[in-house]
């Protein structure tokens, strides 16, 4: 069974100046355990598509299934975990309290909760910070807490909306490597929204290229990698070749390289 | 050094003002008759402590009851207004009207409505005065939840009640505390000033008015000190409450 299947999905936002078509005719299938990035310029509907999968908005047309259920049912059943561009931590809860939030909402017993929080804190490397409050953490650490929270209930699908978008380049690359490891370990499928080409290529099995007005899928680029995704990948010719392929798909024409000018 | 200075400097200012007061009144005899010496005020306060305390209790009780009733009404109505737009629409002009009415001016009307021997008019005035800041702040607080937090709770499949408990309430709590702190001083002022407009012959305000008119300025000032004590006590209690609530909370 696929993690996500969309067919002919569209989304129209009614506004004062008439309807805005955010998405049209989106057909996409995400296999279990697969890492798929959605990339495209602003307004291409990549975040909208993610919100439709998460049932935070509902599609205007087409059908959308998450593990064979409706998006609504999948949300109620907690089949996915989610992380946003803003970490969205509750400032009055400690790191442990924030990670435990989904567990708490679903009535997991206190002892089991504490054990799971310790496990997750170790996974994202924040064991020494569980008693801190969010405003005592750096942006990168806050985002790790958000990822730990998304993983709290061992979801088979992880939805991420530009989770590293507000971070500096060094932190960003570091967290990408960690996410590659975590997603490989957990075996969860990931739908990852980004506007960074290298980020998409580094993390994904497939990169879905989208285009605005109206938002739609224009290309899907496979990224096959031998072995684990680690720092070495960032310097391999294969990686650069895929980065170029995605860039050309985004811009529609082969890009002129500086040394060919 | 600087820490010590922070505590010492207000004390120095206080002592200087007292010294100036003694100088003008007792040494230079340059003050009008209505301004007594601080020594006389302290003496009166000491001698009449018993009756001052009785009146302090009356005024404080009126203020407390008014504050509790007003705050409770403010919280409940703000919660209603936050859940339903039409209710907000109905309440908004009412609250705006309450905020501009000189509330203590209603006291004579309340007194004739409920009888001159009843404390009810004074309590009602304190309640109305306390209601406005609590309502305004709580309503604002209930609307401060951030979209990312609402999305998160929806994505986590939280029920409406869970969302309220985990997100809406904790978000609104600091606003409630601010409202209560403002309301507590407003309630004391309202309860005290309401006494100037008649009603039973007890309470701090009544005593100040009576003794100021009959020329016993130092006793009137001693009662003012009693009024300050009530205000201070209210302020300290609500500040402590605010501390307790925001404990473990940064910012």
Whether A54 and B155 lie within 8 Å, measured CB to CB: yes
Q: What is the pTM of this model?
A: 0.77
Averaged pLDDT, A93-107: 91
Q: Closest chain B residue to A73 measured between Cα atoms?
A: B157
Q: What percent of chain B has pLDDT over 90?
A: 30
A79 falls within a domain: no
Region of poorest pLDDT, from A216-220, A226-230, B33-37, B200-204: A226-230
A-B C-beta contacts closer than 8 Å: 55
- Is the residue at B250 inside a domain? no
Cβ separation of B170 and A90 shorter than 8 Å?
yes
Task: Report the pLDDT value the prediction gives residue B66, as an integer from 0 to 100.
Answer: 94
A148 falls within a domain: yes
**Cβ contact A29:A1 at 8 Å:** no
Pairwise CB contact (< 8 Å): B170 & A106: no
Report CB contact under 8 Å: A75, B249: no
Question: Is B156–A78 a contact, with Cβ atoms under 8 angstroms apart?
Answer: yes
pLDDT at A82 over 70: yes
- CB contact under 8 Å between A92 and B248, yes or no, is yes
Question: Domain count of chain B?
Answer: 1
CB B169 within 8 A of CB B75: no
Average pLDDT value over all residues in chain B: 87
Q: What is the pLDDT of residue A224?
A: 77
Question: How deeply is A193 buried, as exposed, middle or buried, from its count of CB atoms within 10 A (0-12, 13-18, 19+)?
Answer: buried
**Nearest-by-CA chain B residue for A53:** B155
Of B148, B153, B167, the CB nearest to A84: B148
Test mutation, A90, A107, A135, chain B, max B CBs within 10 A:
A90
Of A241, A248, A204, A179, nearest in space to A36 by CA: A204
Report which of residues B1 and B39 the model is more confident about.
B39
- Please report whether residue A18 resides in a domain: no
Give residue A115's domain range.
Answer: 88-154
- ipTM greater than 0.90, yes or no? no
The pLDDT of residue A259: 54
A88 min Cα distance to partner chain B (Å): 6
Residues 6 or more apart whose CB falls under 8 angstroms from that of B154 comprise A55, A56, A75
pLDDT (tens digit per residue) in A204-239: 888 898 888 888 888 888 887 776 777 778 888 888
Residue A250's pLDDT is: 84
Per CB-CB distance under 8 Å, the chain B contacts of A100 are none
- pLDDT score of B222 more than 80: yes
Whether B155 and A82 lie within 8 Å, measured CB to CB:
yes
Chain B: give the shortest CA distance to residue A86, in Å: 7
Instruction: Spell out the SS3 assignment of chain B.
Output: CHHHHHHHHHHHHHHHHHHHHHHHHHHCCCCCCCCCCHHHHHHHHHHCHHHHHHHHHHHHHHHHHHHHHHHHHHHHHHHHHHHCHHHHHHHHHHHHHHHHCCHHHHHHHHHHHHCCCCCHHHHHHHHHHHHHHHHHHHHHHHCCCCHHHHHHHHHCCCCHHHHHHHHHHHHHHHHHHHHHHHHHHHHHHHHHHHHHHCCCCCCHHHHHHHHHHCCCHHHHHHHHHHHHHHHHHHHHHHHHHHHHHCCCCCC
pLDDT for residue B126: 92
What is the tens place of the pLDDT at every residue in B158-175?
Answer: 888 889 889 998 899 989
Q: Is B154 in Cβ contact with A91 (below 8 Å)? A: no
Of B152, B249, B250, Cβ closest to residue A88: B152
Count up the domains in chain A and report the number. Answer: 1
Minimal C-alpha gap between A102 and chain B (Å)? 6
A-interface mutation test, from B152, B168, B176, most A Cβ less than 10 A away: B152
The C-alpha of B243 sits at a distance from chain A's nearest C-alpha, in angstroms, of: 14
Q: What is the pLDDT of residues B232-243, one digit of tens each?
A: 999 899 988 888
- Answer yes or no: is B155 within a domain: yes
A160 pLDDT higher than 80: yes
In percent, how much of chain A has pLDDT > 70? 95
Chain A residue numbers touching B251 (CB-CB < 8 A): 91, 135
pLDDT at B152: 92
Residue B147 lies inside a defined structural domain of this protein: yes
Domain for residue A126, yes or no? yes
CB contact under 8 A, A76 and B157: yes
Average pLDDT over residues A60-88: 88
Residue A26 lies in a domain: no
A219 located within any domain: no
Q: Nearest CA of chain A to the CA of B82: how many Å?
A: 21
Tell me the pLDDT of chain A averaged across its residues. 86
Whether the pLDDT of residue B251 is over 70: the answer is no
Question: pLDDT for A176-186, tens place per residue?
Answer: 888 888 888 88
User: Does position A255 have pLDDT exceeding 60, yes or no?
Assistant: no
B164 neighbourhood in chain A, CB within 8 Å:
none
Query: In this predicted structure, what is the pLDDT of residue A254?
Result: 55
pLDDT digits (tens, 9 = 90+) for A28-42: 888 888 899 999 888
Where do the DSSP E strands lie in A46-156?
A: 61-66, 69-70, 80-83
Residue B25 lies in a domain: no
Which stretches of chain B sit within 8 Å of chain A by CB? 146, 148-149, 151-158, 162, 166-167, 170, 248-251
pLDDT in tens, B94-138: 888 887 877 777 888 888 888 778 888 889 999 999 999 999 999
Range(s) of the domain holding residue B216: 37-245
pLDDT of A261 > 50? The answer is no
Q: Where is pLDDT greater, at B107 or B59? A: B59
Q: How far is B159 from chain A (nearest CA, A)?
A: 9
Residue B247 has pLDDT above 70, yes or no: no
Nearest to A81 by CA among A182, A159, A189: A159
- In this structure, what CATH number is given to the domain that contains residue B41? 1.10.3720.10
Does residue B250 register a pLDDT over 60? Answer: no
Residue B9 in any domain: the answer is no
Averaged pLDDT, B17-33:
83
């Amino acid at each position: 069974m696929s993690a996500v299947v969309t067919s002919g999905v569209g989304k129209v936002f009614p506004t004062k100046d008439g309807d805005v078509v955010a998405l049209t005719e989106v057909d996409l299938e995400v296999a279990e355990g697969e890492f798929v990035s959605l990339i495209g310029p602003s307004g291409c509907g990549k975040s909208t598509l993610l919100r439709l999968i998460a049932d935070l908005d509902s599609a205007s047309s087409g059908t959308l299934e998450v593990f064979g259920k409706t998006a609504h049912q999948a949300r109620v059943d907690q089949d996915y975990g989610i992380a946003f561009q803003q970490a969205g931590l509750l400032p009055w809860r400690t790191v442990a309290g924030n990670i435990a939030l989904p567990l708490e909402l679903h009535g997991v017993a206190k002892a089991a909760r504490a054990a799971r929080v310790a496990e997750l804190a170790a996974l994202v490397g924040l064991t020494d910070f569980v008693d801190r409050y969010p405003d005592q953490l750096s942006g990168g650490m806050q985002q790790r807490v958000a990822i730990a929270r998304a993983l709290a209930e061992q979801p088979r699908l992880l939805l991420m909306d530009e989770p590293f978008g507000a971070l500096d380049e060094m932190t960003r690359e570091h967290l990408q490597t960690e996410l590659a490891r975590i997603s490989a370990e957990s075996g969860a499928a990931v739908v990852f929204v980004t506007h960074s080409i290298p980020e998409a290529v580094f993390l994904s099995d497939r990169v879905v290229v989208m285009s605005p007005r109206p938002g739609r899928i224009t290309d899907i680029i496979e990224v096959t990698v031998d072995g684990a995704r680690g720092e070495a990948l960032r310097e391999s010719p294969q990686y650069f070749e895929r980065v170029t392929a995605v860039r050309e798909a985004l811009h529609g024409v082969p890009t002129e390289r500086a040394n060919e000018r | 050094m600087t820490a010590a200075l922070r505590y010492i400097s207000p004390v120095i200012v206080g002592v200087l003002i007292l010294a100036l007061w003694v100088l003008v009144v007792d040494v230079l005899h340059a003050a009008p008759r209505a301004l007594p010496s601080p020594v006389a005020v302290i003496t009166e306060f000491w001698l009449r402590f018993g009756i001052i305390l009785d009146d302090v209790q009356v005024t404080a009780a009126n203020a407390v009851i008014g504050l509790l009733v007003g705050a409770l009404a403010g919280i409940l109505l703000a919660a209603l207004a936050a859940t339903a737009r039409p209710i907000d629409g109905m309440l908004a002009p009412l609250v705006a009207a309450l905020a501009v009415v000189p509330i203590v001016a209603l006291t004579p009307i309340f007194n004739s409505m409920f009888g001159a021997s009843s404390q009810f008019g004074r309590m009602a005035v304190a309640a109305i005065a306390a209601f406005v800041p609590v309502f305004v702040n709580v309503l604002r607080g209930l609307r401060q939840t951030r979209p990312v937090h609402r999305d998160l709770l929806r994505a986590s499949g939280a029920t409406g009640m869970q969302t309220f408990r985990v997100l809406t309430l904790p978000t609104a709590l600091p606003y409630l505390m601010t409202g209560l702190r403002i309301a507590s001083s407003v309630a004391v002022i309202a309860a005290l000033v309401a006494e100037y407009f008649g009603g039973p012959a007890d309470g701090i305000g009544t005593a100040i008015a009576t003794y100021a008119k009959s020329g016993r300025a130092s006793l009137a000032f001693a009662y003012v000190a009693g009024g300050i004590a009530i205000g201070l006590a209210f302020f300290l209690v609500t500040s402590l409450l605010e501390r307790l609530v925001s404990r473990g909370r940064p910012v």
